[in-house]
């Protein structure tokens, strides 16, 4: 299933997960050799993409992270008092299609420039968390 997204430019994009919740994609200003994109929900960073452009025609994905331990800050005092008593549980944002969207964003960004190759690296934790990934030999 493809995720919905809309944007006026790359610096401000709205993304919807599989359940229809909206997230804001914030891209740090382009540097010559790297960029970072963050997914924000209720002003909390719940996902991040880090990429390095080296050599200039290669995009290396350093990390794609979707958090599984987010506790949102209450918006007003009443909610803060309620959460003090109730103790909210952390929210897991994995397996909602958000990592896929970050990967699609990296590919789109590469196609806009002079990138000829995209690469990444997997560690055992990545493979354990997602059985559809496999390390190439």
Question: What's the CA gap between 126 and 67, in Å, rounded?
Answer: 13
pLDDT at site 80 = 67
- The domain 5-129 having CATH identifier 3.40.50.620: the answer here is no
Query: Helix, strand or coil for residue 108?
Result: helix
Here the tokens at position 130 are 């997602």
pLDDT value for 137: 43
The phi and psi torsions of 81 (rounded to 5 degrees) equal -65, -40
137 residues of the chain, pLDDT tens digit each: 334 444 444 456 999 999 999 999 999 876 778 889 999 998 899 999 999 888 878 999 989 999 999 877 767 777 667 767 777 889 999 999 999 999 999 999 888 888 899 888 777 887 787 777 665 54
CA–CA–CA angle 95, 38, 86 (5° rounding)? 65
- 6-26 core/surface letters (b: 16 or more CB in 10 A; e: else): eeeeeeebebbbeeeeebebe
What residue segments make up the domains of the chain, in order of their start?
5-129
Question: What pLDDT sits at residue 84?
Answer: 72
Tokens standing for residue 24: 């804001």
Q: Which of 1, 122, 49 is nearest to 133 (CA)?
A: 122
pLDDT value at position 23?
96
Distance CA 72, CA 21 (A): 15
């Amino acid at each position: 299933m493809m995720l919905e997204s809309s944007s006026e430019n790359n610096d401000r994009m709205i993304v919807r997960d599989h359940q229809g919740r909206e997230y804001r994609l914030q891209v740090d200003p382009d540097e010559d050799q790297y960029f970072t994109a963050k997914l924000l929900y209720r002003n909390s960073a719940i996902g991040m993409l880090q990429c390095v452009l080296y050599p200039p025609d290669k995009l290396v994905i350093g990390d794609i992270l979707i958090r599984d331990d987010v506790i949102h800050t209450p918006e007003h005092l009443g909610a803060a008092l309620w959460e003090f008593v109730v103790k909210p549980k952390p929210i897991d944002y994995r397996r909602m299609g958000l990592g896929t969207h970050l990967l699609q964003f990296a590919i789109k960004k590469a196609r806009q420039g002079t990138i000829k190759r995209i690469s990444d690296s997997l560690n055992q934790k990545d493979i354990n968390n997602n059985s559809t990934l496999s390390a190439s030999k």
